[in-house]
């Protein structure tokens, strides 16, 4: 099992050293160079070069939050192929494919996902996977973001085809090209193809399962940015609720009060699952009312909420609705309060959310978010770009018939992406695919209690890290569905706490004795809390 907790979110600085370099035959080297002449529809290949360290190959660096730091090295030989796909006259989907030499190839193809709206190839991700023997590929999703910030520069303004490339085409064309390149280089197709990513990468994964069911054999979609127009609407809405009148307004909740709310939530709901361990196993069973910590009339103390702040908190938990009462997207769950800074701390909404409406929906970088109307503007977003960016089809039968396995996981404590969105989607999948038992033969949802975003992260002292790629690989290889996932928390590289995540609708049930921070003292079952 590989231990790369940040594998599919933020590229980390690593040195891949001490690896024995397998010899590369003249024919393999020649076949790499010859890939430049490979003909693929709508694709132009611009580079095919054998990389034969030593010296170490230095990974191209990109500044920015999601970029690749300078100095990252690869010390194994591989074939580097670059190109671009142009399915429309306004498309330029850049990609790279990295191929281990034949002696090192594990037989698999692994696609790399992209966080946010990043327009940059994930060199860090490919560098981590090439050493494990994967043939791997990544795309810039059809637009160039030189700083890999994940926000939205004006590339979307006046370019609907680029929005569509980002929305669904880029990952598909990259997978098509990569697998043809794999076949040409090795003389055979990959035994299995995998995609494991989170946030927007998780949304890319769900999109592949729905729209292109034969691209991948095993997919792990983590904390996916599901139903983009509605997700971005709830994100801006939560910020609007908290910040529309400024950080001096009576309803603004200062970040210093987030721990106060969180402590009150734990006091009310931590023990509902039978053990006080700082984890709310199922937040949907927690009916916390912020009024329980309301300050005395007209007072404002650090340890309580004013009446206006109580109303803000209630709206954060409730989510957003259309003017006819239909829910647009669920709100944040009880237990998420320590992460409310993503949406509520201000003074403005997160750029990735605000810029989506400004540049993609309104095509106006000067759009004033204070004018946001969640019902009206969500409908407008659906009308203008919904078909290009939303993939919400619960009919996964083509993916099932292909033999695909789909692991969906969602962190209950996630605050950047409200967990209820994926839960609602999975319930629709079950209804469409014939019920719980039939669905779980090929698709399972794990709601991870207490964890923050993505499978590589723990929040505070709460276990939350696991290797999603390892889980989906074993499921697809063996046909045995995971009946639980053990998440971990580390201190100095040593695991000090573990906890199980269970396939929905099951949850972890404490056995009644033993260390509550040891997964062995829990079973998965249907709770009766």
For every residue of 281-327, DSSP letters joined together read S-GGG----GGGGBPSTT---TTSB-HHHHHHHHHHHH-EE-TTS-E
Q: What is the CATH number of the domain that holds 96?
A: 3.40.50
Question: Residue 13 falls within a domain, yes or no?
Answer: no
In this structure, the answer to whether residues 381 and 413 fall within a common structural domain is no
> Is residue 252 domain-shared with residue 353, that is, in the same domain?
yes
Q: What is the mean pLDDT of residues 351-360?
A: 94
Task: Assess if residue 3 is contained within a domain.
Answer: no
Pick the more confident residue, 5 or 243. Answer: 243
pLDDT in the model for residue 144: 84
Q: Tell whether the model's pLDDT for residue 427 goes beyond 80.
A: yes
Q: Is residue 208 part of a domain?
A: yes
338 with 419, same domain? no
Query: According to the model, what pLDDT value does residue 147 have?
Result: 66
pLDDT average, residue stretch 381-393: 97
For residue 53, the model assigns a pLDDT of 83
Longest Cα–Cα distance in the chain: 82
In a domain, 1, yes or no: no
Residue 10: name the closest of 143, 115, 132 by CA: 115
| Percentage, residues of the chain above pLDDT 70 | 92
Both 294 and 406 in one domain: the answer is no
Give CA–CA dist 494/161, Å, rounded.
Answer: 47
Could you tell me if residue 20 is inside a domain? no
Whether the pTM exceeds 0.85: the reply is: yes
Helix (H, G, I), strand (E, B) or coil at 410: strand
Quick one: 245 and 218 in the same domain?
A: no
Does residue 23 lie within any of the structural domains?
no
* pLDDT band with cut points at 50, 70 and 90 for residue 63: confident
Q: Is there a domain that residue 52 lies in?
A: yes
Q: Tell me: do 199 and 234 sit in the same domain.
A: no
What average pLDDT score do residues 269-295 get? Answer: 95
Residues 6+ apart with CB under 8 A from 428: 394
Q: For the chain, what is the domain count?
A: 2
Contact 174, 139 (CB under 8 A): yes
pLDDT band at 21 (very low <50, low <70, confident <90, very high): very low
The answer to the question of residue 17 being in a domain is no
Residues 39 and 182 in one domain: yes
Residue 14: predicted pLDDT: 34
Distance CA 94, CA 162 (A): 12
* 62 and 93 together in one domain: yes
Same domain, 258 and 127: no
Structural domain containing residue 257: 230-389
Q: Which residue has the higher pLDDT, 59 or 61?
A: 59
- Say what the pLDDT of residue 20 is: 35
Residues 326 and 377 in one domain: yes
């Amino acid at each position: 099992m590989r231990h790369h907790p940040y594998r599919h979110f933020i590229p980390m600085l690593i040195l891949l050293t001490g690896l024995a370099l397998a010899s590369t035959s003249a024919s393999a080297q020649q076949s790499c160079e010859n890939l430049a002449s490979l003909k693929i529809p709508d694709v132009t290949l611009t580079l095919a070069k054998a990389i034969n360290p030593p010296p170490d190959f230095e990974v191209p660096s990109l500044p920015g939050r999601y970029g690749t730091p300078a100095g990252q090295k690869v010390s194994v030989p591989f074939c580097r192929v670059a190109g671009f796909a142009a399915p429309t006259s306004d498309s330029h989907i850049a990609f790279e494919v990295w191929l281990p030499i034949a002696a090192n190839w594990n037989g698999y193809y692994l696609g790399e996902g992209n966080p946010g709206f990043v327009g940059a190839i994930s060199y860090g991700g490919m560098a981590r996977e090439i050493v494990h023997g994967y043939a791997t590929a990544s795309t810039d999703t059809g637009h160039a973001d030189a700083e890999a910030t994940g926000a939205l520069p004006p590339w979307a303004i006046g370019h609907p085809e680029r929005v569509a490339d980002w929305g669904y085409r880029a990952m598909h064309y990259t997978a098509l090209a990569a697998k043809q390149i794999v076949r040409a280089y090795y003389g055979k197709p990959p035994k299995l193809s995998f995609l494991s990513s989170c946030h927007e990468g998780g949304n890319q994964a769900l999109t592949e399962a729905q729209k292109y069911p034969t691209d991948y054999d095993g997919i792990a979609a983590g904390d996916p940015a599901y139903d983009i127009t509605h997700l971005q609407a709830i994100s801006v809405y939560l910020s609007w609720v908290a910040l529309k009148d400024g950080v001096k307004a009576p309803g603004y909740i200062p970040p210093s009060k987030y721990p106060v709310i969180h402590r009150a939530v734990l006091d009310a709901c931590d023990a509902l699952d039978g053990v006080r361990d700082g984890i709310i196993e199922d937040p949907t069973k927690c009916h916390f009312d912020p009024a329980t910590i309301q300050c005395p009339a007209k007072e404002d103390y650090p340890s309580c909420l004013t009446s206006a702040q109580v109303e803000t908190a209630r709206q954060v938990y409730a989510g957003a609705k259309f003017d006819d009462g239909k829910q647009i997207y669920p709100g944040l769950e009880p237990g998420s309060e320590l992460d409310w800074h993503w949406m509520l701390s201000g003074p403005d909404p997160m750029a990735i959310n605000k810029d989506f409406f400004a540049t993609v929906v309104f095509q106006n970088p000067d759009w004033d978010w204070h004018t946001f109307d969640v019902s009206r503007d969500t409908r407008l977003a659906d009308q203008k770009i919904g078909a290009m960016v939303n993939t919400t089809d619960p009919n996964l039968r083509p993916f099932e018939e292909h033999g695909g396995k789909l692991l969906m996981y969602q962190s209950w404590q996630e605050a950047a992406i409200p967990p209820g969105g994926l839960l609602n989607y999975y319930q629709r999948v079950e209804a469409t695919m014939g019920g719980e038992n039939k669905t779980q033969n090929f698709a399972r949802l794990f709601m991870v209690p207490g964890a923050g975003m993505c499978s590589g992260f723990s929040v505070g002292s709460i276990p939350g890290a696991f290797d999603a790629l390892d889980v989906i690989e074993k499921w697809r290889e063996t046909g045995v569905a995971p009946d639980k996932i053990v998440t971990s928390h580390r201190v100095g590289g040593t695991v000090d706490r573990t906890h199980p995540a269970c396939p929905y609708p099951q949850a972890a049930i404490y056995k009644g004795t033993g260390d509550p921070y040891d997964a062995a003292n829990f079973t998965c079952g249907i709770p009766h809390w």
